[in-house]
Amino acid sequence: QSTWEAVVSTQSTWEAVVSTQSTWEAVVSTQSTWEAVVSTQSTWGQMDNEFGHIVTPVAFNVGLALKSEDYELSAGYGCPEVNGMKPGGAVRMSTVFPVLCDASNRRRSGMLLFNFRPKGKRKPKGGAVKVGASHDDICGIPHTTTRDLAVPEAEHYSSLAIRKAILLVRYTDFVKRYMGERKGANDRKMRGLKKEFVAFYASFEKEATAIGDPTLVATEIVQLKEIAAGDGIDLEAGGKKRPREEGGPDLAALQKLKVAELRKRLDARGLGTKGKKAELVERLSAAIRAAADSAEPPKKKQRLVQGEEAKTFQCPITMEIMDDPVIAADGHSYERKAIAQWLSN
């Protein structure tokens, strides 16, 4: 009650928020946005129990750097400042906020993911890399720490939470690229995109099953199926017995091909040619399997994303399909420029 009074009982504050017609319309005239803000019980719970966590930083001028002769940071995920980092550079964040845990010591958010890669054409030695972190506390006192991170030889996850987060990053990157490249794509390009979609769906479903989180099935897999249905993509193509095409996708034979030849064959199919050799081999193999499953389905006229499918990718501020989505502290996704402008004003 006291928090609510502090927010809305002051006449000047209330007028600043709702007396401007355009602002008011932007916030509450859209039913879905209004429901997300005030009619959900969890939102009020956040205001009652987490208000201090949301508005009070615990660290300032946070820095993170990879100290290695072999590797460099290439990408980051989890907050706007991390998402916008430059490959090869250090990470800088102006503030970091605390995250409330529930009774089982589970956190709803707060994870930052970083991808690092070998420097140039240097062949990594493996072993461990040093990660240095620094920050100023709430009293302005600086702190620094360095830790050694082991570089595993094979794919490895220290927890299911990290495994799920990485899967969601891959999902977001793929859907964003797919939605962008399909705009104005010709028939040849669209066939290639559909094959990639089938391969990605199969890998995502397999990983989601391994993680065992039902929310992945209820949300991301449902969204993938909606997109596939709209674009006439047969997702079952990834689960049938796959006859060979021209001898079949002989993985050993594909692995013997040079990168230039792999890219040539991928380009001929209208598929992406970027990535390491292992990625190119997997992409070409998936395309060969998909092509051998069945004949191309009847072509359908491409349509814009609309209806319930569109709401999934809409920014609550602009009410348009997001091109550069980010997740804010409230757990909702927004167009980067829109939420940045909204916060600055």
For helices 259-268 and 277-293, give the axis angle rounded to 10 degrees: 40
Residue 291 vs residues 64, 67, 255: alpha-carbon distances, Å: 45, 45, 19
In this structure, the dihedral spanned by the alpha carbons of residues 69, 110, 102 and 332, taken in order and rounded to 10 degrees, is -150
Dist. CA 114–CA 132, nearest whole Å: 14
Dist. CA 149–CA 139, nearest whole Å: 30
Residue 45: the pLDDT is 65
Q: Is the pTM of this model over 0.75?
A: no
Quote the Cα angle for 110-111-113, to 5°.
150
Dist. CA 39–CA 329, nearest whole Å: 18
Dist. CA 127–CA 105, nearest whole Å: 32
Q: What phi, psi does 208 have (nearest 5°)?
A: -60, -40
* 79: three-class secondary structure by DSSP: coil
pLDDT tens for each residue of the chain, 345 residues long? 444 444 444 444 344 434 434 433 443 333 333 444 544 556 666 677 777 777 788 899 999 998 888 888 888 998 888 888 888 888 999 998 887 777 777 776 678 888 888 887 777 776 788 999 999 999 999 999 999 988 877 777 778 888 999 999 999 999 999 999 988 889 889 999 999 999 999 999 999 999 888 888 889 999 999 999 988 998 886 544 444 444 455 667 777 788 888 888 888 777 888 888 888 887 887 777 766 654 445 444 444 555 555 566 788 888 788 888 888 877 788 888 888 888 888
Residue 310: the pLDDT is 58
Dist. CA 39–CA 232, nearest whole Å: 36
**Where do the DSSP E strands lie in the chain?**
59-67, 71-77, 91-96, 113-118, 128-136, 142-150, 325-327, 333-335
Q: Which two tokens stand for residue 78?
A: 């989890």
Task: Decide if 129 contacts 151 (C-beta within 8 A).
Answer: yes
From the list 58, 50, 205, the residue with the least C-alpha distance to 139 is 58
Task: Decide if 59 contacts 121 (C-beta within 8 A).
Answer: no
CB count in 10 Å sphere of residue 130: 12
Residue 8: the pLDDT is 43
Dist. CA 173–CA 111, nearest whole Å: 17
Q: Which two tokens stand for residue 190?
A: 């669209």
* Residues in Cβ contact with 261 at an 8 Å cutoff, skipping those fewer than 6 apart: none
